[in-house]
A and B are shown apart, each in its own frame.
Chain A
C-alpha cells in the first residue's frame, strides 16, 4: 500500500470481541482525523463462527476497504492460521503467545511476529481474561501512532454505558498493551498522520437514517431482515427523541401496506427490507403505483436467490425492483454510492415520492449499508417538497385529474370537501372505478388509456430531477469503468492504483437509476474509447438495462457473485487484461 495508508485486520470467534475491538480502533482513527473505511465479515450464527474485521486508515480519502492489510490481531488460533499468510509487508501479527502458536514459517517476508501477553495483562489489571483484546488494541494503537488519549476516549465512548470503573480498567489494559509494544516491538514507518481534526464515522444505513430524519420521516414499518434490520434498530432507539413511530409488523406485506396507509393519510413513511422481504411487498408496490400514494422503500441487497447468504453482499435485486408488480407504473430507483449519498438519497426519496406520488426505492446493499466509513458532515438544511396538495373545500375536486405533468393534486383525510376513494382498480379522474360495469364500454376504454398515460407522464416529469451519471477521473481515458451504487468504492480506489501502471482510466458512475438520464448516459458511453462494466451480480442486470436504454453494448464485463465486495485489485487486473487484448 502507498504511504500513509494502513489496513489492519482483527479476527476471532464470534463472541471474542472482534466487533467492539474493531469499532474502538475505527473510532480512534476517525477521531485522529484519518480517513477510515471498514469491512466486517461475519456469519449467520450468534455464537462461534469466524469473524474478521478490516479497518483501513489513511491520510488521504480512500473509498474501499483496500486489497491488503499490514497488521493483524489474532484473537484465536484460526485467525493466525488463516489470515497471517495474507499479510503484506512491512507488517506484523499481534497475538498472545501464551494462548496461541503462531507458525512463523507461514509469515510473508517482512512480516514480523508481535507477541503481547494480553491475557496476563487483563488478568493482572482486572482479575479476568475478558479484556485481552483491549491489550492487543493498545499494541496496535502504538504501531500506527495513535495518541493514547484518543484511544482512551474511544474506549470511553464504547464502554461508557457499562460504568466508569469498567472504562478505567479498559484504559489501563490498553495502556499496558501500548507500553508493551513500545518497549518490546520494533517500530514501523507507516507515515500515518493521526493528528488532524476528528471525522464523523458512520455506516451507509446510519447515514440513511439521518437523511430520513432530516427529510421528515414520521413512520418506519419493518419486519426484521439482515441487512436492513439496523435501520429499524437505529430508528427505534431514536424514536422517542425524534418523534418517529417505529412499527415492527407481522410481515413485510403488512409493512408495505401500512406505509401506504400512512402516506395516504399524509405522514412521510418508509419501510426497509432485503430481497426476500421485498418479494413480499411486490403486490403492494403496484398498489402505491395505482393509487398514486407515495412510499419510500429501502431495499438492502444481500446474496440471493432465496435465503442465499444472509450476511454477504450482492447487487442482485435491481431487476426485481425494476420490474416488480404487474402492469406498468412510474417508480423511481436511487442507488447511492456512498454513505454521504445514502443521506441525500433518503431525504430526496421523500421529496420525490410526494412530488410524483409513486413508490421510490433506495437500493443499498450489505456492504454499503453496514460498513463504517468516515464522512463529511451532512447538511441538515434540506428542502422539504410535499408536491401538489389541493386546497380545502374545492368544488369539483378530482383526485386523479389529468394534467400535463401527470401529477394531480393530493388531498388528505380530514380536509373538508375533498373526499375521494383511492382505488387499486382502474378509475377515472374522480377516482370512480371503471373496472366493473364500465369495463369495455368505448368511453371507458378511452378513459383507461388516458389514465394510464397520465400516470406514466409523471416519469417524464420526474426525469428532470434525476441526476445523470458522474464521470470521475480524466475526461480522456483508455478505459471507462462503468458501475452503479456501492461498487464506486472499489472502482475509485482501482483508478488510484491504475495511475501507477500507465493506464489512464476513468469511472462512469450511475446512482439515479430510474428514470434513467438516457441522453447523458449514451453520450458518456459514446465518448468512451473502451468500456468495462463492473457489477455485483451474475447476469449483468444493470448492463442489460443500460444496453436496452442506450442501444450501446458495453465492451467488457466484470461480475462478482461470491458474496464478497469488489476489491480494487480485481478491477485493476481486469482493466489490464482488457487493454492488453487491444
Chain B
C-alpha cells in the first residue's frame, strides 16, 4: 500500500512559532516515513516535553507524548513489547541531552532498534529561553544573563562512545538531506541518532539559520568514510568555521531485541497469557 504524505499528516496544526526549525523536521519526518512505505498503524512516535515534543500530534500514526526526559524508556518499552512496531523517538536537546541524558546513553549502548530525532535548538524553548546542555559557552540566556560558563555536551561524540550504530546530524535548513538521514535511520537495524540543528527563532539569537548556513557542509561531499570510527570522532569535534552535517558513522551489530531470549518466540503482545497446566505443576514442584 503506497502511503502518501497527506495520509500520515494529521489535521492538527503545529503551534510552533512561525519560522521555527521544528517545521523542517516535521516535513522531513513525513517524507522519510513515506519513503519507507511504512503503514502508519505500525508506527509509534514517542516524545517527551518541550516545543519539539509536540511533534507526535502532527502525524497520523500512534503516538505517546510522555513526560520530560523519559522518551527513551517509554520508546524502549514499546519496542520490547512489540518489535513489529517501528518506533521514532523525538524531543528537544533539553529533553534528551539534559534531564534524559542517562536514558539516552543506556539506550545507545543497548542498541535498541529505534530512530531518535533530537530537535536541537541549543536552548529551552517551551520554558521561554534558558540555557540548555548544548548551549555554547558564553551564551546569554535568561538563566545565564552573564553568559553560560559551562561547556556544551557533544551529542555526536557521546553517541560514538556510547555505542549507537547509526549516528547522524541534520539541519532544518536542509530538509532534503534530513529526510534522507531519517529514512536511513528508519531502515537501519539498531539505534539511530539524528541530531538536528533546529533554530529557535524566538529565544536563540546566536544559533540562527544564517549561523548554520554559513558554517555547515555535508559529510557526503567530502568522502567521509562512515565505517571509520576514528574519522567520525574527528568530524564530531569539528566546530567553529566549518560544521559537518550528514552521516558520521554506521555499523551493523546485533540489536537488543534480537538478543533478548523472551522475544525469540515473537512479540510479547502476541504470546498467550497465563500458565499451562504443565507449567503450573512444574512451578509448584519448586516449592515442595
Contacts and interface: CB of A to CB of B under 8 A. Distances in A.
Contact of B280 (A244, A380, A416): A380
Interface string A243-266: 111110111011111111111111
A478 B66 CA distance: 53
Contacts of A201: 287-288
Nearest to A420: B62
B42 interface: yes
Contacts of B66: 257, 260, 287, 291, 424
B63 A420 contact: yes
A210 interface: yes
Interface in A409-449: 412-425, 432-433, 436-437
Contact of B15 (A30, A202, A421, A437): A437
A377 B271 CA distance: 26
Interface string A208-224: 00100111101101000
A147 to B, nearest CB: 16
Nearest to B269: A266
Interface stretch (B27-35, B81-89, B209-217): B81-89
A419 B38 CA distance: 14
A242 interface: yes
B140 interface: no
B61 A218 contact: no
B41 A264 contact: no
A425 B65 CA distance: 8
Contacts, number: 197
Interface in B236-270: 260-263, 265, 268-269
A398 interface: no
A268 interface: yes
A94 interface: no
Interface residues of B, number: 56
A424 B269 contact: no
A579 interface: no
A264 B65 CA distance: 12
Interface of A: 30-31, 198, 200-202, 206, 210, 213-216, 218-219, 221, 238-247, 249-251, 253-269, 283-284, 287, 291, 377-378, 380, 382, 384, 412-425, 432-433, 436-437
B268 A422 contact: no
Given A243-B262, A243-B265, A253-B73, A423 B81 contact: no
B84 A424 contact: no
A214 B77 contact: no
Given A201-B287, A242-B279, A436-B15, A413 B80 contact: no
Contacts of B288: 30-31, 198, 200-201
B41 A413 contact: yes
Interface in B30-72: 40-44, 46, 49, 54, 56-57, 60-67, 70, 72
Given A258-B76, A261-B64, 17 more contacts: A31-B288, A198-B288, A200-B284, A201-B288, A245-B260, A250-B103, A251-B102, A261-B46, A261-B76, A262-B268, A287-B66, A291-B66, A413-B42, A413-B85, A418-B41, A421-B57, A422-B63
B70 A284 contact: yes
A53 B103 CA distance: 40
A247, A251, A377, A415 — which one has the most chain B CB atoms within 10 A of its CB? A247
A240 B262 contact: yes
B127 interface: no
Contacts of B263: 245
11 contacts: A251-B102, A253-B70, A253-B73, A254-B73, A254-B103, A261-B46, A261-B73, A266-B82, A283-B67, A287-B66, A413-B41
Q: Which 6 pairs across A and B sit closest by C-beta, in order of nearness? A: A261-B77, A216-B273, A421-B63, A267-B81, A257-B73, A265-B81
B163 to A, nearest CB: 14
Contacts of B287: 200-202, 206
B106 A250 contact: yes
B283 A416 contact: no
Given A267-B268, A380-B280, A254 B67 contact: no
B75 interface: yes
B41 A414 contact: yes
A384 B41 contact: no
Contact of B77 (A30, A262, A415, A436): A262
A414 B85 contact: yes
B114 to A, nearest CB: 11
A254 B70 CA distance: 7
B275 interface: yes
B64 A291 contact: yes
Contact of B277 (A219, A255, A380, A382): A380
A413 B62 contact: yes
B65 A421 contact: yes
A219 B268 contact: yes
Nearest to A255: B73
A200 B280 CA distance: 13
Nearest to B282: A241
Interface in B76-100: 76-82, 84-85
A92 B54 CA distance: 71
A420 B62 CA distance: 5
A422 B64 contact: yes
Contacts of B268: 218-219, 243, 245, 262, 267
A246 B268 CA distance: 12
B122 to A, nearest CB: 23
B74 interface: yes
B82 A414 contact: yes
